[in-house]
Chain A
Amino acid sequence: MSSQTKLHTRREFLKKSFGLVAAASSVPTFLSRTVFALANPFAASRGNRILLVVQLGGGNDGLNTVIPFGHDIYYRVRPSLAVPKEKIVRLNNEIGLHPNLAPLRDLYDAGKLAIVQGVGYPNPDRSHFRSMEIWQSGVAEDFESTGWIGRMFDHTCNNGHLKEPCSPTLAVSVGETLNPALKANNPVGVALRDPEQFYRMTQVYANSEVVADAPTANVKTVSPLDFLRRTAMNAELSADRIRRSIRNVQSRADYPVDEFAQGLKLIAAMIAGNMDTRVYYISLTGFDTHAGQAGVHERLLKILGDGLAAFQKDLEALGQAERVLGLTFSEFGRRVAENGSRGTDHGQAAPMFVFGKTVKPGIVGAHPSLDKLNDGDLSFHTDFRQVYATTLEKWLGADAKMVLGQKYNLLPLVA
């Protein structure tokens, strides 16, 4: 903003004129008691565990990510895009990783990576928009406006068994807008790219006089005005909390300079800074490679691999690795055969990575068959909600059936 300094002084002015809040400290202590003591239902039973969701936007080409180099068909249908056998980072005699994902093989070797193969959902939709909505909502059978993460908090706080609101910082999405996966009926979660800018923008309205009763009221029953006041206060307090939590954290890894890696660096700092956040969400986009795929895809995989490796290294050095589990997904994979433009079109099944120090390492499920295709696409054999359900139940200790609407078979992903 062009008017940063003005805003800052304005805020001081607002606060001084209320006489309720000391200008030096941005959060009054009585607020810290009320709001920051708010429900963190996952704290006690599950040892402050954290989930990181990495969204790969555009439809990542799963076949050039986890590569079935042992199958001739792969080389036959991808004359210009197939990665030469000798360059592939092998995991076994059949499959391997793209060379730019070499850092993930290190994780694999260290027992910190699981690869779930052939993930998708029934009646796949090839629209980016709809398919991403399905992954974010965790509902493929209907249109659902809340996200799977958001619903997890909905089912726990407020109308859930806690009967009180969740702490506003339980979910943090790094980016300009709140990821739809975090969308809840009772808003939890903040989105930010730059903590300082987020802080400045939340401080323009100092709603000090309205907070006394707002935070404890149930969102279903409060008036729209109190709902707005509460959200305003949540924004203000979250921003302040994030800013303070990262202030004294020194990163212990060399992150690449790209935006994705820098976002991960921020997340690692928030984790080490003892935020009460249980779910972090970050996106990397550009995977819609219809033409001239090779260069673009290589570059994106490098960003992904290097970023995640730095993140993991940082967490370990910061002593936080035990409590963080990460997963990656994309809205769909791409067609098996390349198209006439040295690219690939929208497909179906694709692999997911699940990583972290406490992951149960290995390869889950077989690589989808390359000769028995479904309309030119790899068929899925594992529903993505099995991965969600597993992380909900086994990692976060949430009720997966409540969140996902039905029971899914769990996968061996968490040690």
Chain B
Amino acid sequence: MFSLSTLHPNNWNWEKARHLLFRAGFGGKAEEIETILGKGLPGAIEHLLSGPTRTLPIPKWLAEDKAIDPRAVRSMGEEEKKMLQRSNRQHTNELQGGWVQFMMSTPTPADMLHEKMVFFWHGHFATSEQKVKATPFIYDQLKLFHDRALGNFGDLLHAIIRDPAMLRYLDNDQNHKGKPNENLARELMELFSLGPGNYSEQDIREGARALTGYSLEPYQFRYRRFLHDNGSKTVLGRIGNFSGEDFVKIILEQPACAEFMTRKLWVYFASENPPEDVIKTLATKFRESKYDIKTVLREIFNHPEFYSAEVIGAQIKSPIQLVVGAARTLELAVNNFEFYGRMLLMMGQVPYLPPNVKGWPGGRSWIDTSRLVTRYSFAEIVAEGKIPAEMDPRLPGDMDLRDPGMTPEERKLKRKELRSLPPRNLRIDFNAEKFAGSKSSPAEIVDAITRVLLAVSPTKDERQVLIANLEKTLKEKSYEEALQRAVGDVMLLPAYQLC
């Protein structure tokens, strides 16, 4: 009855339900784990794949930003230019922070998986605001990922060669007949679809010719037919007068494409070392489905390997996973995107600020001493419920202490000024009852918290310390405060960095 590629229903339990919820999404509350558990694995997967229930909000200033003519900017005076740069900076921060808030406030697990896939596509088709700069580019690309996150990969790949942000980021607006720019053609195969070793330098050169004329004006895709090279091209063994669309079609015909994408999704959701036989099987199904994204996700979440000891609790949380997960699990107030933005910056992952076109390398690269210490700071802030002013940019212009226009003296003054402000509260709608239920002994409370927050059980010593701390704080503080402190203590454990 039961296939080898599906987890046996007898093995479905609380631990695995938690694993599915925290990996398919960012994290969740105890009652969400219960819901997932109660649905059984197939039901749970369909539930997770049923999103989104929300549409992406449109920033109020978007139309205004779209009306800015880049050519007019060039002839502006210095002051006017500066004002424009400042508002663009502010709007970009709002887009970045707004997205983080949007991830934090997912109403259902289905929205959460959808959002996690949107973020996957952002990391996959990595684009940096530092190069594309204008907000319409960023918003439109985000909208593309939001609309198609769980659709068809082929459609997405087709859309990306017409996506203005990508065209700008990879210089395809400078890819002209007779003067090709190979940047997009190269990454289209190396990073977006096939992976190294599955194409030649010749394929890049010829593919670039197929993409000539795929340009933009000013923030929209524009095909400039006079700049397109209409000559015959040889791409991946095929010969013809190919357009960009033909180039993408030929890529999608390669068996390497489904394997590359399946492997990347496995690494994102499951583990850094994908079992190759599993990848092959799943890739075949992905290809047979004509690149239906839900199909491959269903296969991943169904697979017994996804629930193996090598996978559960063995992934280092990305900063987004850590911060968004905490917000969702602990119901942190989400009205403070400057604070979360600053935390994410220090942890090394801000949306639309990937290190380069390869996206975030992930895994152990998330952790070094200073980034780990930042994660401690985050845990302490949650535990104490107070955001120190220094971590809490709250005036316009505070957001970016790295602002290159700031002199060291100005930066120092700004820091001093921030330090002198009283800390703001971090509101936590954290319902202790939900964690601890009706349990009353510190040991039972600690166990209830770690069961939700940790994928790996604490060591005996760690558990003892947690219990002893809670006993002490229960005497000193209110019940709610003591539990919040206990949650923060758990977040300080190395195991909390794992998912």
> What is the interface of chain A, defined by CB distance below 8 A to chain B?
1-3, 6-7, 10, 13-14, 17-18, 57-58, 127-130, 133, 143, 145, 168, 176-178, 180, 183, 185, 187, 189-192, 198, 201-202, 204-205, 207, 209-210, 219, 223-225, 227-229, 231-232, 234-235, 238, 258-260, 284-288, 291-292, 296, 299-300, 303, 341
Contact flags (1/0) for B460-475 with A, using CB distance below 8 Å? 0110110011001000
- The listed residue (B370, B371, B388) touching A2 by CB distance below 8 A is B388
**Do A303 and B408 have beta carbons less than 8 Å apart?**
yes
> Does B298 interact with chain A (Cβ within 8 Å)?
no
**Do B494 and A207 have beta carbons less than 8 Å apart?**
yes
Known A17-B468, A228-B498; contact A143-B130, beta-carbon cutoff 8 A: no
Determine the chain A residues whose CB is within 8 A of the CB of B131 once the complex forms. Answer: 127, 129-130
Q: Nearest chain-A residue to B497 (Cβ)?
A: A228
**Do A177 and B371 have beta carbons less than 8 Å apart?**
yes
27 contacts between A and B (CB under 8 A): A7-B380, A14-B465, A17-B464, A18-B461, A58-B404, A143-B358, A145-B365, A177-B348, A177-B371, A178-B370, A201-B373, A201-B377, A202-B376, A205-B492, A209-B462, A210-B494, A227-B367, A238-B369, A258-B408, A258-B409, A258-B412, A259-B412, A286-B404, A286-B405, A286-B407, A286-B408, A288-B404
Determine the chain B residues whose CB is within 8 A of the CB of A192 once the complex forms. Answer: 370
> How far does the alpha carbon of A249 sit from the alpha carbon of B498 in the complex, in Å?
40
> How far does the alpha carbon of A259 sit from the alpha carbon of B370 in the complex, in Å?
19
Q: Nearest chain-B residue to A15 (Cβ)?
A: B465
**Do B408 and A260 have beta carbons less than 8 Å apart?**
yes
**Do B368 and A145 have beta carbons less than 8 Å apart?**
no
Known A2-B386, A229-B494; contact A209-B459, beta-carbon cutoff 8 A: yes
> What is the interface of chain B, defined by CB distance below 8 A to chain A?
78, 128, 130-131, 313-316, 346, 348, 355-358, 361, 364-365, 367-373, 376-377, 379-380, 384, 386, 388, 402, 404-409, 411-412, 423, 456, 459, 461-462, 464-465, 468-469, 472, 492-495, 497-498
Determine the chain B residues whose CB is within 8 A of the CB of A234 once the complex forms. Answer: 369
Determine the chain B residues whose CB is within 8 A of the CB of A143 once the complex forms. Answer: 356-358
> How far does the alpha carbon of A260 sit from the alpha carbon of B423 in the complex, in Å?
27
**Do A1 and B380 have beta carbons less than 8 Å apart?**
yes
- The listed residue (B371, B376, B409, B469) touching A178 by CB distance below 8 A is B371
> How far does the alpha carbon of A42 sit from the alpha carbon of B85 in the complex, in Å?
47
> How far does the alpha carbon of A269 sit from the alpha carbon of B78 in the complex, in Å?
43
> How far does the alpha carbon of A378 sit from the alpha carbon of B404 in the complex, in Å?
24
* CB proximity of B278 to chain A, nearest CB, Å: 20
Determine the chain B residues whose CB is within 8 A of the CB of A202 once the complex forms. Answer: 369, 373, 376
**Do B372 and A235 have beta carbons less than 8 Å apart?**
yes
* CB proximity of A230 to chain B, nearest CB, Å: 9
Determine the chain B residues whose CB is within 8 A of the CB of A219 once the complex forms. Answer: 364
- The listed residue (A189, A210, A291) touching B368 by CB distance below 8 A is A189
Besides the contacts A177-B371, A204-B380, what 10 more A-B pairs have beta carbons closer than 8 Å? A3-B384, A13-B469, A145-B365, A185-B364, A190-B369, A204-B492, A205-B492, A225-B495, A228-B497, A238-B369
Known A18-B461, A286-B406, A341-B78; contact A133-B356, beta-carbon cutoff 8 A: yes
Most buried by A among B131, B365, B370: B370
Determine the chain B residues whose CB is within 8 A of the CB of A133 once the complex forms. Answer: 355-356
> How far does the alpha carbon of A128 sit from the alpha carbon of B492 in the complex, in Å?
36
**Do A224 and B498 have beta carbons less than 8 Å apart?**
yes
**Do B348 and A296 have beta carbons less than 8 Å apart?**
no
> How far does the alpha carbon of A14 sit from the alpha carbon of B380 in the complex, in Å?
15
> How far does the alpha carbon of A129 sit from the alpha carbon of B386 in the complex, in Å?
34
Determine the chain A residues whose CB is within 8 A of the CB of B409 once the complex forms. Answer: 258-259
**Do B465 and A18 have beta carbons less than 8 Å apart?**
yes
Determine the chain B residues whose CB is within 8 A of the CB of A291 once the complex forms. Answer: 78
* CB proximity of A182 to chain B, nearest CB, Å: 8
Q: Nearest chain-A residue to B469 (Cβ)?
A: A13
> How far does the alpha carbon of A209 sit from the alpha carbon of B464 in the complex, in Å?
12
* CB proximity of B391 to chain A, nearest CB, Å: 9
> How far does the alpha carbon of A192 sit from the alpha carbon of B368 in the complex, in Å?
12
**Do B373 and A235 have beta carbons less than 8 Å apart?**
yes
> How far does the alpha carbon of A357 sit from the alpha carbon of B364 in the complex, in Å?
39
Determine the chain B residues whose CB is within 8 A of the CB of A128 once the complex forms. Answer: 130
Determine the chain A residues whose CB is within 8 A of the CB of B469 once the complex forms. Answer: 10, 13-14, 17
Determine the chain A residues whose CB is within 8 A of the CB of B495 once the complex forms. Answer: 225, 228
> How far does the alpha carbon of A238 sit from the alpha carbon of B372 in the complex, in Å?
13
**Do A183 and B368 have beta carbons less than 8 Å apart?**
yes
> How far does the alpha carbon of A151 sit from the alpha carbon of B386 in the complex, in Å?
39
Q: Nearest chain-B residue to A180 (Cβ)?
A: B355
Most buried by A among B131, B380, B408, B411: B408
Determine the chain A residues whose CB is within 8 A of the CB of B405 once the complex forms. Answer: 286, 288
Determine the chain B residues whose CB is within 8 A of the CB of A296 once the complex forms. Answer: 407
> How far does the alpha carbon of A341 sit from the alpha carbon of B75 in the complex, in Å?
12
Instruction: Report the 10 A-B pairs with minimum CB-CB distance, sorted nearest first.
Output: A191-B370, A228-B494, A235-B369, A187-B368, A259-B408, A205-B492, A190-B369, A143-B356, A209-B461, A129-B130
- The listed residue (B314, B367, B371, B404) touching A285 by CB distance below 8 A is B404
> How far does the alpha carbon of A180 sit from the alpha carbon of B354 in the complex, in Å?
13
- The listed residue (A129, A130, A231) touching B372 by CB distance below 8 A is A231
**Do B456 and A225 have beta carbons less than 8 Å apart?**
yes
> How far does the alpha carbon of A178 sit from the alpha carbon of B369 in the complex, in Å?
8
> How far does the alpha carbon of A58 sit from the alpha carbon of B346 in the complex, in Å?
20
Q: Nearest chain-B residue to A341 (Cβ)?
A: B78
* CB proximity of B109 to chain A, nearest CB, Å: 25
> How far does the alpha carbon of A93 sit from the alpha carbon of B128 in the complex, in Å?
45
- The listed residue (A225, A238, A259, A288) touching B494 by CB distance below 8 A is A225
* CB proximity of A276 to chain B, nearest CB, Å: 15
> How far does the alpha carbon of A113 sit from the alpha carbon of B236 in the complex, in Å?
54
Determine the chain B residues whose CB is within 8 A of the CB of A225 once the complex forms. Answer: 313, 456, 494-495, 498
* CB proximity of B309 to chain A, nearest CB, Å: 11
Determine the chain A residues whose CB is within 8 A of the CB of B461 once the complex forms. Answer: 18, 209
**Do B372 and A285 have beta carbons less than 8 Å apart?**
no
**Do B376 and A177 have beta carbons less than 8 Å apart?**
no
Q: Nearest chain-B residue to A179 (Cβ)?
A: B370
**Do B370 and A1 have beta carbons less than 8 Å apart?**
no
- The listed residue (A2, A7, A183) touching B365 by CB distance below 8 A is A183
Determine the chain B residues whose CB is within 8 A of the CB of A191 once the complex forms. Answer: 368-370
> How far does the alpha carbon of A54 sit from the alpha carbon of B262 in the complex, in Å?
43
Known A143-B357, A210-B494; contact A228-B369, beta-carbon cutoff 8 A: no
Determine the chain B residues whose CB is within 8 A of the CB of A286 once the complex forms. Answer: 404-408
Q: Nearest chain-B residue to A303 (Cβ)?
A: B408
**Do A145 and B358 have beta carbons less than 8 Å apart?**
yes
Determine the chain B residues whose CB is within 8 A of the CB of A204 once the complex forms. Answer: 376, 379-380, 492
Determine the chain B residues whose CB is within 8 A of the CB of A260 once the complex forms. Answer: 408
Q: Nearest chain-B residue to A235 (Cβ)?
A: B369
Most buried by A among B314, B406, B497: B497
Q: Nearest chain-A residue to B77 (Cβ)?
A: A341
Q: Nearest chain-B residue to A173 (Cβ)?
A: B370
Most buried by A among B388, B402, B407, B462: B407
> How far does the alpha carbon of A241 sit from the alpha carbon of B220 in the complex, in Å?
55
> How far does the alpha carbon of A63 sit from the alpha carbon of B376 in the complex, in Å?
44
Determine the chain B residues whose CB is within 8 A of the CB of A190 once the complex forms. Answer: 368-370
* CB proximity of B60 to chain A, nearest CB, Å: 29
**Do B372 and A232 have beta carbons less than 8 Å apart?**
yes
**Do B404 and A189 have beta carbons less than 8 Å apart?**
no
Q: Nearest chain-A residue to B373 (Cβ)?
A: A201
- The listed residue (A14, A18, A145, A303) touching B355 by CB distance below 8 A is A145
* CB proximity of B279 to chain A, nearest CB, Å: 21
Determine the chain A residues whose CB is within 8 A of the CB of B388 once the complex forms. Answer: 1-2
**Do B369 and A231 have beta carbons less than 8 Å apart?**
yes
Determine the chain A residues whose CB is within 8 A of the CB of B376 once the complex forms. Answer: 201-202, 204-205
> How far does the alpha carbon of A58 sit from the alpha carbon of B403 in the complex, in Å?
10
> How far does the alpha carbon of A192 sit from the alpha carbon of B369 in the complex, in Å?
10
**Do A3 and B380 have beta carbons less than 8 Å apart?**
yes
Determine the chain A residues whose CB is within 8 A of the CB of B315 once the complex forms. Answer: 224
Determine the chain A residues whose CB is within 8 A of the CB of B379 once the complex forms. Answer: 204
**Do A227 and B364 have beta carbons less than 8 Å apart?**
yes
Determine the chain A residues whose CB is within 8 A of the CB of B472 once the complex forms. Answer: 13
* CB proximity of B201 to chain A, nearest CB, Å: 13
